[in-house]
Amino acid sequence: MNKFLPVLFILITSAAFAQKKPLDHQVFDGWQNVSGQRISNNGKWIAYVVKPQEGDAALYITTTNGKSKISIPRADTVRFTADSKYAVCMIRPFYKDLRQAKIKKKK
| pLDDT (tens digit per residue) in 85-100 | 999 999 999 989 888 8
Mean pLDDT of the chain: 85
DSSP calls for 68-99: -EEEEETEEEEEE-TTSS-EEEEEPPPHHHHH
Helix (H, G, I), strand (E, B) or coil at 57: coil
Domain contains 1? no
Domain contains 76? yes
Q: Is residue 89 a contact partner of residue 77, using CB atoms and an 8 Å limit? A: yes
Domain contains 95? yes
Domain contains 48? yes
27 CB-near residues (< 8 Å, 6+ apart): 21
Q: What is the pLDDT at residue 19?
A: 63
Least confident of 26-30, 43-47, 62-66, 73-77: 26-30
User: pLDDT grade, residue 26 (50/70/90)?
Assistant: confident
Domain contains 55? yes
Domain count for the chain: 1
Domain contains 82? yes
Range of the domain at 88: 32-103
Amino acid (one-letter) located at 16: A
Domain contains 6? no
Domain contains 26? no
Phi-psi region of 75 (alpha: psi -120 to 50; beta: other; left: phi over 0): beta
Q: What is the arithmetic mean of pLDDT over 2-24?
A: 67
